[in-house]
């Protein structure tokens, strides 16, 4: 209940509201950051593309609602998929976020919107008939909160508080057993290239097609179990900020993350990006497109260490040991049970990498009630009440057995067909085998 009296007498309601606003503004101020960025690239095939948009607005026309986007698209078998994703992915992600959300709700909606946006971009691109594909590492920075959606092997690494944090997944078949199992279970043939005398050479690839990656946007001629569903990770930096390095595999094939940070640590972002690319080319020669974006996140005002952060509302990944999170109970893994004794550290807010859409777009989503019910969760098309297919219709496949088939969210028929193909229920005809030549990486 509001106490309208203070020691010096009654306080007008208008004044109280003003004070509340000022308090709210201060909370936001503590997260205001300056972002300084630089990029550098050396091109071999001309298939790496970057997207840098430092001044996006959550609320159009409101400069207080700015967020920034940094992304790398590493194309293969042509550059159309990379260019198409660069031009369309951001708007597809944003169109999957309902309007009129608070900042916290908007940040909570991002992981799901990334999934919808990636899948819609893939579906729309494939309908154009191109065969190329692309990796995507897509970074959204709002205040101290970094959200990364990734498919493929372009990596985003954060250095903060003297530690490195991997914010993207590695979807190279050679590096990811879980993904090999998923692709195989969905009907893909994973193996190395057969040459004369049955000798197997090169990296693990998925056949038909011969792609080394388990996830990408595009790749029409590879099985549909090479899915565009992104790994998503959301973290909140401490008040000391941090440095983010995003690179295509041209860099990571030559340098470890530690090397990239060590080479670039004393330098400002553009010089740092230049140094990383130069060192990578120095080590391996220019064998691939080699691209680097460096972003320094510099908080304008330090957090007061005694103020605990507000309780988190959104959904929850498993805390990874690499995050230095202190919990009240060692057995607790739910955010509802977690209290932060020492808030000024890097916090993991969300992490999920499953390829299963029922799990990624599930009804337990914390702000589901503000989504329109009869809208396709992927392409955002309006549905008539009888048209939608519930995403839970076969949820048991993903271990979400408690959800009922008549619960939303819903997919339109086309997106349902896409989903079934991604989950291996609609096998495509195999067009090439392991004995034919590979179609790149």
Neighbours of 439 (CB within 10 A): 18
We find the least distance from the C-beta atom of residue 424 to Zn ion, in angstroms, to be 20
CA distance 170 to 173: 8
| Exposed/middle/buried for residue 208 (C-beta within 10 Å: 0-12, 13-18, 19+) | buried
Beta bridge partners of 138: 71, 149
- Report the candidate in 199, 226, 218, 217 with the shortest Cα–Cα distance to residue 434: 199
**Residue 140 or residue 383: which is nearer to Zn ion going by CB?**
383
CA distance 216 to 230: 9
**Residue 233 or residue 418: which is nearer to Zn ion going by CB?**
418
Question: Any contact of residue 357 with Zn ion (CB under 5 A)?
Answer: no
Contact with Zn ion (CB under 5 A): which of 146, 169, 415, 421? 415
**Residue 222 or residue 379: which is nearer to Zn ion going by CB?**
379
Give me the sign of the Cα torsion angle 171, 173, 175, 181. positive
Question: Any contact of residue 119 with Zn ion (CB under 5 A)?
Answer: no
**Residue 33 or residue 379: which is nearer to Zn ion going by CB?**
379
Question: Any contact of residue 412 with Zn ion (CB under 5 A)?
Answer: yes
Name the 3-class secondary structure at 397.
helix
Choose the binding region for Zn ion from 52-60, 62-70, 167-175, 368-376 (rule: CB under 5 A): 368-376
**Residue 345 or residue 379: which is nearer to Zn ion going by CB?**
379
Neighbours of 427 (CB within 10 A): 13
The secondary structure of residue 341, as a DSSP letter, is: S
The per-type count for the chain, helices as H runs and strands as E runs, is 9, 18
**Residue 87 or residue 382: which is nearer to Zn ion going by CB?**
382
Question: Any contact of residue 378 with Zn ion (CB under 5 A)?
Answer: yes
> How many chain residues are in contact with Zn ion, going by CB under 5 A?
5
We find the least distance from the C-beta atom of residue 381 to Zn ion, in angstroms, to be 5
The secondary structure of residue 329, as a DSSP letter, is: -
Instruction: State the angle between helix axes of 103-126 and 80-94 in degrees (0 to 180), rounded to the nearest 10.
Output: 140
Choose the binding region for Zn ion from 40-48, 224-232, 317-325, 409-417 (rule: CB under 5 A): 409-417
Contact with Zn ion (CB under 5 A): which of 376, 395, 421, 422? 376
Q: Which of residues 183-202 bind Zn ion (CB under 5 A)?
A: none
Tokens coding 211:
């792609």
Question: Any contact of residue 97 with Zn ion (CB under 5 A)?
Answer: no
Q: What angle do CA 177, 181, 183 make, to 5 degrees?
A: 115
Choose the binding region for Zn ion from 41-49, 304-312, 352-360, 412-420 (rule: CB under 5 A): 412-420
Choose the binding region for Zn ion from 43-51, 95-103, 198-206, 415-423 (rule: CB under 5 A): 415-423
3-state secondary structure 157-168: EEEECCEEEECC
Provide the terminal-to-terminal Cα distance of the chain, rounded to the nearest Å. 62
| Beta strand pairing call for 155-160 and 163-166 | antiparallel
We find the least distance from the C-beta atom of residue 244 to Zn ion, in angstroms, to be 33
**Residue 378 or residue 398: which is nearer to Zn ion going by CB?**
378
We find the least distance from the C-beta atom of residue 121 to Zn ion, in angstroms, to be 13
Contact with Zn ion (CB under 5 A): which of 51, 246, 276, 379? 379
- The enclosing H or E element of 17 equals helix 13-29
**Residue 51 or residue 412: which is nearer to Zn ion going by CB?**
412
**Residue 169 or residue 383: which is nearer to Zn ion going by CB?**
383
Contact set with Zn ion (CB under 5 A): 376, 378-379, 412, 415
């Amino acid at each position: 209940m509001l106490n309208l009296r203070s020691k010096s007498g009654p306080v007008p309601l208008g004044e109280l509201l003003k004070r509340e606003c000022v308090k709210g503004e201060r909370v936001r101020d503590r997260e205001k950051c300056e972002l300084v960025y630089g990029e550098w690239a050396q091109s071999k095939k001309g298939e790496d593309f970057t997207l840098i948009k430092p001044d996006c607005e959550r609320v159009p026309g409101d400069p207080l609602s700015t967020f920034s986007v940094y992304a790398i698209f590493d194309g293969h078998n042509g550059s159309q998929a990379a260019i198409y994703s660069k031009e369309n992915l951001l708007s597809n992600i944003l169109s999957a976020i309902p309007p009129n959300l608070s900042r916290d709700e908007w940040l909570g909606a991002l992981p799901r919107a990334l999934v919808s946006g990636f899948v819609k971009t893939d579906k729309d691109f494939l309908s154009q008939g191109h065969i190329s594909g692309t990796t995507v590492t897509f970074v959204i920075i709002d205040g101290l909160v970094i959200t990364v959606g990734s498919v493929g092997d372009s990596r985003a690494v954060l250095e903060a508080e003297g530690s490195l944090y991997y914010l993207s997944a590695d979807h190279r078949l050679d590096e990811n057993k879980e993904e090999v199992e998923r692709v195989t279970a969905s009907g893909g043939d994973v193996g190395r290239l057969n040459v004369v005398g049955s000798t197997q050479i090169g990296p693990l690839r998925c056949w038909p097609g011969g792609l080394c990656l388990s996830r990408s946007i595009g790749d029409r001629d590879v099985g549909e179990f090479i899915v565009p569903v992104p790994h998503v990770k959301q973290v909140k930096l401490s008040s000391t900020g941090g440095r983010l390095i995003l690179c295509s595999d041209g860099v990571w094939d030559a340098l470890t993350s530690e090397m990239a940070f060590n080479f670039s640590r004393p330098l400002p972002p553009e010089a740092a990006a230049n140094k990383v690319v130069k060192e990578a080319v120095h080590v391996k020669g220019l064998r691939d497109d080699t691209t680097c974006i460096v972003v320094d996140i510099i908080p304008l005002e330090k957090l007061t260490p005694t103020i605990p952060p507000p309780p988190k509302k959104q959904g929850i990944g498993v805390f990874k040991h690499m995050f230095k999170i202190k919990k009240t109970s060692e057995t607790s893994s739910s955010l509802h049970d977690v209290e932060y004794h020492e808030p000024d550290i890097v916090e993991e807010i969300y992490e999920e990498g499953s390829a299963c859409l029922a799990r990624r777009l599930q009804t337990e989503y914390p702000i589901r009630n503000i989504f329109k019910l009869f809208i396709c969760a992927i392409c955002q098309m309006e549905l008539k009440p009888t048209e939608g297919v519930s995403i839970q219709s076969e949820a048991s496949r993903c271990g979400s057995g408690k959800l009922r088939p008549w619960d939303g969210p819903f997919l339109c028929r086309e997106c349902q067909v896409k989903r079934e193909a991604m989950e291996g229920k609609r096998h495509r005809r195999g067009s090439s085998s392991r004995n034919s030549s590979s179609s790149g990486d």
